[in-house]
Amino acid sequence: MFMSSEDTALAFFESLISHEGINEFRNVFIRGVEEAFISTFRCEEDVDVVYVNDWDENNNPVNIKNSFKDFLKTHLIKETKRSKEFIKSRAPKALSQPNFNSIFFNYIENTLIDLNKKSNTLDYLDINTAIVDIMTFYHAEYSKYHIFCEEYLDTLSVYRKTTKKEKNTLSFKWKDENQHKEIEYLYNSLIKSNPPFISSSLETFIKAFTNKKLEEDETIKWLCKSVKNKKTISKYSLVLLLQALYDKGFIVSDLNDFNKTTENVFSSPNAVKLRNIKNTKKEKSKTPSRIQEIQAILDGLYIIA
């Protein structure tokens, strides 16, 4: 796979959509999973999935599903952001050189048109969504410097008509009284633990607990390892922490949104958003991972409240 750069801002997408590009990227995913875990297996019915033989917190055997589609989506979010940054970095240089100006802008425009056409025929719709996202950004940022062709504008027009309404904000709502003090205490307690429970900026953490919309690639990484298997995280410990915050009235969001909000806000260490929180809530464990540390953090929160 070719990686994007300032000189080739869309190289990742061009490589991905090229002949055998998807297959090559899928092989990168498969090799990564098989090298990371001792026991894996694949299912002929779905070439996009690799299963890992593992154990849950109660030492029961489980098959953990690793999906190429999730892997792809995570990388598309990252590479979309990188492409935008490379375009923004290169554009001022192009604008300062009138003779080079039209070459740069035409190259980006024509490449995006071509990528949109090709990605429309793929089974992976997230690729086309990412391309249109870049097209929308490119037009919004540079329409005052560049005259876009009719085909480009038509694509954006169709996209705007068919785009669904933006989803409701899915983050937690903290009670108003002592809000900032309590959220900052919780953040510092979780991130300064040894080892840390989370990886996140304070800004993202505050947004996640004050009912603010998170960006597509913005999550709180949950790092707490499972007691039984240090290669996996303990989602059950996270659920216990959040449920305690609900029970004590710190989080005042609609409890019906608990599962979806948790999955939207938190991710695994590799930035893949959590899934199946509904099933995690049903788990029962006599020794949840690091529960005494979590309880100590909660006790401290109760004191300052």
The model scores a pTM over 0.85: no
The three-state secondary structure class of 200 is coil
State both tokens at 166: 């933006």
- Looking at residues 23-33, what average pLDDT do you find? 93
Per-residue confidence band for 24, with pLDDT thresholds at 50, 70 and 90: very high
Q: For residue range 265-281, what is the model confidence (pLDDT) as tens digits?
A: 999 999 899 999 988 98
Residue 37 in this model has a pLDDT that exceeds 90 = no
Top pLDDT among 166 and 293 is at 293
Burial class (CB in 10 A: 0-12, 13-18, 19+), 242: buried
Residue 195: asked if its preceding bond is cis (omega within 30°), the reply is yes
Distances (CA, A) of 150 to 158, 248, 284, 290: 12, 57, 59, 59
The Cβ of residue 231 has, within 10 Å, a number of other Cβ atoms equal to 12
Phi, psi (deg, nearest 5) at residue 215: -70, 165
The whole-number pLDDT of residue 2 equals 83
